[in-house]
Structure 1
Amino acid sequence: MRGLAALVLVAITLSGCGVVGRTSIKTVQMAMQGKPDVHPTTGDVAANRYPQIKVTGPHGGAVLVLGNVDGNRQAWYSSDRSIVFLEDGLLVGTHGGTPELHGMRIDGNNPFHDLRQIRTSITIQRQYDVMPGYRFGMTVTGTLERIGIEKIEILDATRALLHVRERLNGQDWKRENHYWVDPGNGFIWKSVQAIAPDASLEIIQLKPYSQDLKR
């Protein structure tokens, strides 16, 4: 993993002096701890050949690039090796920043393989491992419901996406996750997902991994 992250850093460095080339060195930690937001343009994103996401925390944002794919698990890197881990668009871990999501898993059937299938409200069970505080095995119930089609602007494109809301409840937990899903292929273009009882990240797909769009 260290070698791969180093290669990603080299790739970012060589990608040029555009906004993406500069802002990719910002980290999830920066996004969580008060650094400024970033606003890449369509041209900036196109200039970098790697898939890219924008991650925004309570006080700012950062652009990350795809550094590794292992089955359904994707690792999105900043240049200092802060990482966001996604599976089918679901946020399952972070590395770097505070708080840090060491892991998230769903017990039983996983509806995130295709959120388009949700017609009526359904309930899922999650397990969270969060640092600091060694808050491992936090049991959280998620209730998913279909809201409807909404227009979402990403870069220069306006997309009609299916909005699915998830209400989270558990010990010390009372938050909402939101997902905006492509009604054609089920791809999650935008989401707001909790990483701790008191913190969430917004994730926007700027330049998706091409295989994700071939469902």
Structure 2
Amino acid sequence: MSRNALSRLVLRSFRLGLLATVIAVSAAGCGVVGRSSVKAVQLAVQGKPDVQPSAEDVARNRYPQIKVNGPAGGAVLVLGAVDGGRQAWYSSERSIVFLRNGLIEATHGGTPELQQMRIIGPNPLLDLRKVKDGDVVQRRYDLMPDYRFDMKVTGTLHPLGTESVEILGRTRELLHVREELRGDGWKQDNHYWADPSSGFIWKSRQAIAPDAHLEIIQLKPYSPDLQPR
């Protein structure tokens, strides 16, 4: 089965099964989503109490899962849909983070809300193993509130070598790449930690507004993403 066909199959099955699973887990009081009763992006951005899932918690839920951390809090999201390579990660109350190739494209359910991030021209972030110091990424951001549309931001990439990163008690040696964001009032850095063999981004810190960022940690990845590129 091709990767696109598999994505379409996952999209159909997740849309049919996600809501029933979340309701059942919440009623039973077991599993990460039900026990923590989180609101995903709202929790992370607005600084609510943190959520610390264990490896057992994550394994108990059959869906792929990520953890989203903000300045003073965190939440666990499950994969609810894959459509044309765009992944929608949901909380139990349907706040959403949209990812494509490990990059945050949009958020729903928090303030600020990233309505769209798009990359104009070449995208060296597609394979962080090949990034050279000084490579440039041209971005456009649409933000709410205040209708801040088509904000022009330039990212400059800097490989920082290999670092040890612990996720759910397992230490991984990952490539660390920093991206300086500048333009239209933006002065932040994105950070990515990628698998040196596959290029998969296990952890990242990504800005969603000039004054806000989210940290994404892959707890139980969507399996097609782990295939070497």
TM-score (norm 2): 0.89
Q: Could you tell me which of 53, 58, 63 is aligned with 2:66?
A: 53
Match of 2:5 in 1: none
Return the offset for 1:22: 2.1
Residue 8 (structure 1) aligned to one of 9, 18, 29: 18
The SS at the match of 1:38 is coil
Q: How many residues align?
A: 213
If the length of structure 1 is used for normalisation, what is the TM-score? 0.94
Q: In the alignment, does 2:103 pair up with 1:90?
A: yes
Deviation at 1:7, TM superposition (A): 4.4
Distance (Å, rounded) in 1 between the aligned partners of 2:187 and 2:17? 39
| Structure 1 unaligned regions, length at least 5 | none
Equivalent residue in structure 1 for 2:157, among 120, 144, 167: 144
- Cα distance in 1 between the residues matched to 2:69 and 2:107: 13
Mapping of residues 32-111 of structure 1, within 5 Å? 32-111=45-124
Larger displacement relative to structure 2 (135-144 or 24-33): 24-33
8 Å Cα contact 2:66-2:220 kept in structure 1: yes
Deviation of 1:9 (Å): 3.0
* 2:126 corresponds to 1:116: no
1:193 alignment partner in structure 2: 206
Shift of 1:6: 8.1
* Contact 1:193–1:202 (Cα < 8 Å) also in 2: yes
Shift of 1:135: 0.2
Deviation at 1:78, TM superposition (A): 0.8
Partner of 1:30: 43
Distance 1:192 1:64, change over 3 A: same
**Root-mean-square deviation (Å):** 1.6
After superposition, give the CA deviation of every residue in 1:96-147 in whole Å (9 maximum; x if it has no partner). Answer: 1000000000110111221111133211110000110100000001001100
Q: Can you list the C-alpha shifts for 1:64-105, whole angstroms capped at 9, x where unaligned?
A: 000000122100001221110001001110011000000000
Q: Sort the Cα spacing of 1:178 and 1:209 in 2 relative to 1 into closer, same or farther, 3 A.
A: same
Look up the SS of the partner of 2:18 in the other structure.
helix
SS of 1:195's equivalent?
strand
Instruction: Tell me which moved more, 71-80 or 150-159.
Output: 71-80
Mean alpha-carbon deviation: is it higher for 10-19 or for 146-155?
A: 10-19
Q: Which structure's residues are more often helix, by fraction? A: 2
Amino acid at match of 2:20: V
Which sections of structure 2, spanning at least 5 residues, go unmatched? 1-10
How far apart are the structure 1 equivalents of 2:98 and 2:21? 20
Q: Which has the larger displacement, 175-184 or 12-21? A: 12-21
CA distance in 2, matches of 1:112, 1:171: 21
